[in-house]
Amino acid sequence: MSRIKDMLKIIRNGMAFAYSWLVICIVLAGLINGAETVSLIVLAKTFLLCLWGVIAFVICFMNESVKKKGFIFSLTLFYILFIPVEIVMFYFMGVFVTGGNVTAWILFGSIVVIGYVVSILIDTFIMKKKAVEYTEKMQEYVKNRK
User: Over the stretch 4-14, which tens digit does the pLDDT of each residue have?
Assistant: 888 899 999 99
More confident residue, 132 or 54: 54
pLDDT (0 to 100) of residue 97: 63
pLDDT (0 to 100) of residue 78: 92
pLDDT (0 to 100) of residue 52: 94
Whole-prediction pTM: 0.71
Q: Is residue 140 predicted with pLDDT exceeding 80?
A: yes
What type of residue sits at position 126? Answer: I
Q: Is residue 129 predicted with pLDDT exceeding 80?
A: no
CA distance 11 to 23: 17
User: What are the sequence ranges of the domains in the chain?
Assistant: 1-95, 98-146
Q: Is residue 89 predicted with pLDDT exceeding 70?
A: yes
DSSP symbol at 94: T
Q: Residue 126: count other Cβ atoms within 10 Å of its Cβ.
A: 10
DSSP symbol at 123: I
Helix segments in the chain, DSSP class H = 2-33, 40-57, 64-67, 71-93, 102-121, 128-145
25-79 confidence digits (pLDDT tens):
888 888 887 878 888 998 999 999 999 999 999 999 888 888 888 888 888 999 9
